[in-house]
Amino acid sequence: MVDTNQIWKYLEEVSDPEIPVLTVNDLGIVRNVSIEGGLCKVTITPTYSGCPAMKRIEDDIIEKLKDKGIENVKVDLVLSPAWTTDWITENGRQKLLEYGIAPPQDEVDKSVLFAEPTNVPCPKCSSSNTRMISQFGSTACKAHYQCNECMEPYDYFKCL
Please, which residues bridge with residue 156 across strands? 102, 143
Give min distance, CB of 128 to other proteins, in A: 22
Q: How many residues bind other proteins (CB under 8 A)?
A: 28
HSE, side-chain direction, 13 A CA sphere, residue 97: 16
The answer to whether 142 and 133 have CB atoms below 8 angstroms apart is no
Binding mask of the shown chain, residues 80 to 99, with x at each position contacting other proteins by CB under 8 A: xxxxx---------------
User: H/E element holding 24?
Assistant: helix 24-27
Q: Rounded distance, CA 59 to CA 31, Å?
A: 17
Closest by Cα among 142, 139, 138 to 159: 142
The residue within the footprint of other proteins, chosen from 5, 37, 38, 49 (CB under 8 A), is: 49
| Contact between 32 and other proteins per CB under 8 A | no
Binding mask of the shown chain, residues 101 to 140, with x at each position contacting other proteins by CB under 8 A: ---------xx-xx------------------xxxxxxxx
Nearer to other proteins, 110 or 124 (CB): 110
User: H/E element holding 16?
Assistant: none
* Residues engaged in binding other proteins (CB under 8 A): 46, 48-52, 78-84, 110-111, 113-114, 133-140, 144, 158, 160
